[in-house]
Amino acid sequence: MSATRTSTWQIASLISLQWMLLLSPLGAQQPPNHVGRKVCASCHPGEHSLWGGSHHDLAMLEVNDPASRAPFDGTEISSGGVLSRFLMVDERPVIEVEDSAGQQSLPVRYFFGTSPCQQVLVDGAKGRMQSYPIAWATPEAKGGARWYPLFPEEKTPPGDPLHWSGVLNNWNHMCAECHSTGMVKNYDIESDSFSTHWQELDVSCEACHGPGSNHVNWARSSKKDDDGEKRTPLPQMGLTVQFQRDSATWVRPEGEKVARRSIRRTHHDETETCARCHSRRTALVDGSVPGAPLSDTHLLSLLDATLYHPDGQILDEVYVHGSFLQSRMYAEGVTCSDCHEPHSGKLHIEGNSLCVGCHDPAIYDLPDHHHHAPESAGASCIECHMVSRTYMGVDPRRDHSFRVPRPDLSIRLGTPNACNDCHQDREVHWAAEKVMEWFPDGRGDDFHWGEALHAARNNSPVAPELIRMVLEDEKTPSIVRATALAELTPFLDRTNSDLLSRSFTDSDPLVRRQAALALDGLPLEQTYGVLLDLLGDSSRIVRTVAAELLSPIQRELSEDPQGAGLQLSRVLAEYISMQEVNGDRPESHVNLGALASRRGDLKEAVRCYKEALKRTPSFGPASVNLADALRVLDRDPEGIEVLQQAIDRVPDDAGLHHAIGLALVRVGKKEQALQSLGQAVTLAPQSPRYALVHAVALEDGGQRVLAIAALEKALQLHPTDRWLLAAKQEFIDKEKSIDTGESSTSPLPATPEKKASD
């Protein structure tokens, strides 16, 4: 587990899925219970043997486990303003900690993982366990065995989210679900405490196959007759989820370059079971078990700019599934177990031999294809098609989007590419020319959906046209379509509303959800019908968005003769419980506050935002939302005080400076406002919005020349931004009109930013 200060988690909640898993037409099954791996091993010794010693087996360890490799030999590490000593006290591992709060001794409770690094768990307050932010790099790690800080560049004083006791190092929320079996976080909002428990310490059989008691009963309920052994006819042999390949194999017909799946894949049980942990996602239920659709138990992150490069390559720690969904392999029916033995987690075969099981070696495993010396790194399939990025300092992980190297995109989008990852001494243009030379009929210069995302994120006028190309291409992966819809939202108008309309009935709930979110801010009289349809969506991640957007008219719907009010109440209760199950996080209370604001209950909204700050005082969005709620209540001075206190805690948060600048404009303190708005630009030059608002404030204060200069500086970073370009042109026209005595004819579009600063 590796946390980042900018991580944002959409929070969700507990609702039992067992009824979906347990009902059967025969009515023969009882609610399943965990039985433990020893029971499983009695019938499945081969699988158990493969699992032993795997990363799943060693996901969480007792301190006296032989696989606990980290030495506690008195080593001292100073990082982030914290001094840590790793000692043995009474034959137990202990970390002595010195920081501005004083000195304390932390007994080690458990270890996490085994290679290439091993993390340490210590006790926190109120049932918490914390992942200590200094880890042990094992001997096989790059740089060798050593204690090392996970966040070497960060200052982490007490109270900081990245301090060892902070929310971003909390095991109960950040780690527990995927390192143990049968985990229930069990957080109580009233007492702000955890009573977390598990069925098995590590990731064992039932973490993937689900509670096994019904399967064991099925296996033991045999009776014999003249036809031999028979068992009670339970669905799926009593398993919560059954991984069946439908007798499918991979076959490469003569003359074909690549193998095909003999039977088309009809379900995603296997990949979605793996994705419950091997993805960047938010848990929507506490204690979920395999078998339910992923969109009912977890919310998968889209290809956000903070997580992925514009072309979908991995950037932050995203854990495989979001990358795999982009791949042609996934589209053709490849599953995790086609390459990985599911119990050991290892590859079936190492090296190119695995790839040429499907890809014709006479075409793909020769210098005519890879253009490198045999046995060299450049001749390796994965070095070109599965580039690696290192996380947690020592842990290289490969990109599972299986992409063709595109140095031409590096030129246009600034993305990395496999060629220059290796040839770091050469220019990207050299790599692009080589690829074109080797593959003149290849993909060089072909349109890629990443160009649409890049254009939208740079507010380019051509973005809507490019996004249309992405959404109208039936081969575009669903996760890309959903991301493209998210990027289209600021550009929505009558010319592209058809793209939204067709997305409401998309087969993928990620796309339907994003289409629903795009309706936020539009008049409910325009969106009511669509939202009412989506309120009955089969997927939790879709219907709860519809409920949130319909919440302002809950009272009116209560009188609906078709029962829309009752349905809305049920789904809103589902949404609220989704937040409460993760009530340890400030985001959940901000979400509840936003819901209260939609419903017109500003008193409740203020309470929720204060609850968020109570849990994490440094969480900027809570302060911004609280100040905005106070603004609506005509209490702007209090809001300014809230924002100033937040800035005192986190002085480098650009969003806080921007928010207080807008608040100061509203109360007439324009000189102070300019300082705050300018500071936001200094702290976050990557935000064109901050630059635009600062320039508008400068112009409004009679400093048009400075405003134009500020826009020109921002345009160096954002040369295609439509609002920056429009503002610059308007201000230049105004300057010319002063010189000529003519009036300006190019009014600045009424941007949301301009309205906020007026």
220 vs 421, residue with greater confidence: 421
Token readout for 388 is: 């690696």
480 has a pLDDT exceeding 80: yes
The per-residue pLDDT for 229 is 64
**Which of 59-63, 130-134, 221-225 is the least confident region?**
221-225
So what's the pLDDT on residue 561?
83
Q: Of 20-34, 403-417, 463-477, 553-567, which range is least confident?
A: 20-34
Going by C-alpha positions, the residue among 108, 89, 107, 105 that lies closest to residue 97 is 105
- 385-394, 452-461, 735-744: lowest mean pLDDT where? 735-744
How far is the CA of 557 from the CAs of 22, 116, 530, 533, in angstroms? Answer: 34, 56, 15, 14
Lookup result for tokens 């309920």:
221
∠ CA(491), CA(280), CA(596), 5° rounding?
A: 60
Cα separation of 695 and 673, whole Å?
A: 12
Q: DSSP states of 123-161 as a string?
A: E-STT-EEE-SEEEEPTTSTT-SEEEES-TT----TTST
- Nearest alpha-carbon partner for 9 in 260, 307, 222: 307
Number of other CB atoms surrounding residue 476 within 10 Å: 17
Mean pLDDT (whole number) for 155-160: 88
85: pLDDT strictly greater than 90:
yes
pLDDT-derived band at 228, boundaries 50, 70, 90: low
DSSP bridge pairs for 62: 110
Please tell me what DSSP assigns to residue 118. Answer: E
Alpha carbon distances (Å) from 576 to 14, 276, 298, 606: 10, 22, 16, 17
Q: Which pLDDT belongs to residue 22?
A: 34
In the prediction, which pLDDT does 738 show? 76
- The average confidence (pLDDT) of the chain is 92
**Do 429 and 419 contact (CB within 8 A), yes or no?**
no
Q: Which residues of 483-496 are buried (b: 16+ CB within 10 A; e: fewer)?
A: bbbbbbbebbeeee
Beta bridge partners of 137: 117, 146
Q: Return d(Cα 269, Cα 289) in angstroms, integer.
A: 12
What tens digit of pLDDT does each residue of 2-55 get?
Answer: 544 443 333 333 223 333 333 334 345 678 999 999 999 999 999 999 999 999
Work out the average pLDDT over 363-391.
97
Could you tell me if 704 and 734 are in contact, meaning their C-beta atoms sit under 8 angstroms apart?
yes
If one counts every other C-beta atom within 10 angstroms of the C-beta of residue 64, the result is: 9
Q: What is the pLDDT of residue 653?
A: 97
Give the max Cα distance, the chain.
107
Q: Is the pLDDT of residue 750 over 80?
A: no
Q: Which sequence spans correspond to the domains of the chain?
A: 64-172, 260-403, 448-506, 652-758
pLDDT of residue 70 exceeding 90: yes
Q: Are 122 and 164 in contact (CB under 8 A)?
A: yes
pLDDT score of 137 more than 70: yes
Tens digits of residue pLDDT in 717-726:
999 999 999 9
**Tokens standing for 180?**
């143990």
**67 pLDDT more than 80:** yes
d(CA 216, CA 580): 35
Torsion of CA 711, 449, 301, 152, to 10 degrees: -60
> Which helix (H) or strand (E) covers residue 61, if one does?
strand 60-62
pLDDT level of residue 742 (50, 70, 90 thresholds): low
pLDDT tens-digit series, residues 530-578: 999 999 999 999 999 999 999 999 999 988 888 899 999 999 999 999 9
- Decide: 1 and 119 in contact? Cβ < 8 Å: yes
Condensed to tens digits (0 to 9), the pLDDT of residues 485-494 reads 999 999 999 9
Write down the pLDDT at residue 227.
Answer: 61
Find the helix or strand (DSSP H, E) in which 110 lies: strand 102-112
For residue 285, which of 275, 298, 300 has the smallest C-alpha distance?
298
Q: Token pair of 191, please?
A: 């007492």
Long-range contacts (CB closer than 8 Å, 24 or more residues apart) made by 71-79: 71/136, 72/108, 75/147, 77/134, 77/147, 77/148, 77/149, 79/133, 79/134, 79/149, 79/151, 79/152, 79/156
State the pTM of this model: 0.91
Is-cis flag, bond preceding 509, omega within 30? Answer: no
Round to whole Å and give the CA distance between 284 and 682: 37
CB 139 within 8 A of CB 145: yes
pLDDT in tens, 301-353: 999 999 999 999 999 999 999 999 999 999 999 999 999 999 999 999 999 99
581 exposure class (CB count in 10 Å sphere: 0-12, 13-18, 19+): buried
Give the pLDDT of residue 288: 86
**One CATH from 3.10.450, 1.10.3470, 1.10.530, 1.25.40 for 652-758:** 1.25.40
pLDDT recorded at residue 19: 31
Phi then psi dihedrals of residue 123, to 5 deg: -75, 140
Contact 212, 39 (CB under 8 A): yes
Mean pLDDT computed over 285-302: 94
Q: Distance (Å, rounded) from C-alpha 740 to C-alpha 75? A: 74
